[in-house]
């Protein structure tokens, strides 16, 4: 089945630790996105990538990093510089055209120990 | 930059009653407009989208939305709500000149009472 796979479903971070959230898609989509969801704030864009080996900052990129070495994969690292990392993280992808829909993964809930 | 406002954080309707969820956007031209629903255990799903043509758009699950340029609005409607419609609904805006960025509203949580 084609789709987007996020792992793990739940993740715990210790103080000062970097953690990486995985996102893999087999939809042959060029564009991939990371959103953060907090109650009452909707989905806020962290980073996005329109092509392999290229990515852009979204609205809340501070404390996060990404890579796009393969078309299928767009991992997100939550660094120790992100002081409030507890949130639900959603990965999405779509074809390039801006009027096409996003396909979402099932999300990762990150909590701080 | 484009922005999206969903003024209602929570809405409660009775089963069988009609529903309207409000969405206003800020953008100079006609943007691409989307409504997504997030249900427990089902992730985020596209309900409908508008990018040109007929301003009344039909979506899945009996939903529709109307684009009103004069009001910069894209309100979501359903004539008769079912208990299974209880979920969180997000309006989103995109535009060609902003590349592939899609901006989401804060969401509206719909509760359905029997």
CB contact under 8 A, B32 and A98: yes
As a whole-number percent, the residues of chain A with pLDDT over 90 amount to: 76
CB contact under 8 A, B44 and A101: no
Q: Which residue of A has its CA nearest to B107?
A: A42
CB contact under 8 A, A45 and B101: yes
CA distance to A2, A59, A61, A113, per residue, from A78 (Å):
27, 15, 10, 14
A19-71 tens-digit pLDDT: 999 999 999 999 999 999 988 788 999 999 999 999 999 989 999 999 999 99
pLDDT attached to residue B62: 96
pLDDT attached to residue B100: 62
Q: CA of A86 to nearest chain B CA: how many angstroms apart?
A: 18
Q: CA of B17 to nearest chain A CA: how many angstroms apart?
A: 25
Residues in chain A within 8 Å Cβ distance of B6: 42
Residues in chain A within 8 Å Cβ distance of B96: 98
pLDDT attached to residue A1: 60
CA-wise closest residue to B103 among A48, A96, A44, A106: A44
Q: Which residues contact B12 (CB under 8 A, 6 or more apart)?
A: B110, B111, B112, B113
Q: Is the pLDDT of residue A96 over 90?
A: no
CA-wise closest residue to A92 among A21, A39, A38, A41: A21
Q: Predicted confidence band at B44 (pLDDT cuts at 50, 70, 90)?
A: confident
CB contact under 8 A, B100 and A101: no
CB contact under 8 A, B44 and A90: yes
> Is residue B106 within 8 Å of residue A40, measured between CB atoms?
yes
Residue B73 burial by Cβ neighbours in a 10 Å radius (0-12, 13-18, 19+) = middle
CB pairs under 8 A between A and B: 54
Q: Is the pLDDT of residue B41 over 70?
A: no
Q: CA of A96 to nearest chain B CA: how many angstroms apart?
A: 7
Q: Does B103 touch chain A (CB under 8 A)?
A: yes
Structure tokens at A4: 């987007």
Find the mean pLDDT for residues B42-67. 92
Q: Does A54 touch chain B (CB under 8 A)?
A: no
């Amino acid at each position: 089945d084609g789709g987007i796979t996020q792992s793990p479903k739940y993740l715990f971070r210790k103080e000062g630790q970097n953690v990486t959230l995985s996102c893999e898609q087999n939809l042959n989509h060029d564009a991939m996105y990371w959103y953060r969801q907090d109650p009452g704030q909707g989905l806020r864009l962290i980073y996005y990538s329109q092509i392999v080996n290229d990515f852009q900052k979204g609205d809340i990129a501070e404390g996060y990093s990404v890579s796009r070495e393969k078309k299928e994969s767009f991992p997100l690292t939550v660094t120790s510089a992100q002081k409030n990392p507890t949130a639900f993280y959603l990965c999405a992808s779509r074809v390039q055209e801006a009027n096409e829909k996003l396909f979402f993964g099932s999300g990762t809930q990150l909590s701080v120990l | 930059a484009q922005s999206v406002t969903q003024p209602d954080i929570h809405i409660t309707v009775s089963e069988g009653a009609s529903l309207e969820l409000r969405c206003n956007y800020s953008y100079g031209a006609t943007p691409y407009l989307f409504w997504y629903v997030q249900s427990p255990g089902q992730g985020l799903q596209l309900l409908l989208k508008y990018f040109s043509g007929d301003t009344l758009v039909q979506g899945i699950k009996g939903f529709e939305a109307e684009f009103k340029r004069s009001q910069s609005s894209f309100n979501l409607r359903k004539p008769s709500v079912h208990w299974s419609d209880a979920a969180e609904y997000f309006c989103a805006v995109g535009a060609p000149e902003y590349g592939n960025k899609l901006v989401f509203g804060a969401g509206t949580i719909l509760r359905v009472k029997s």
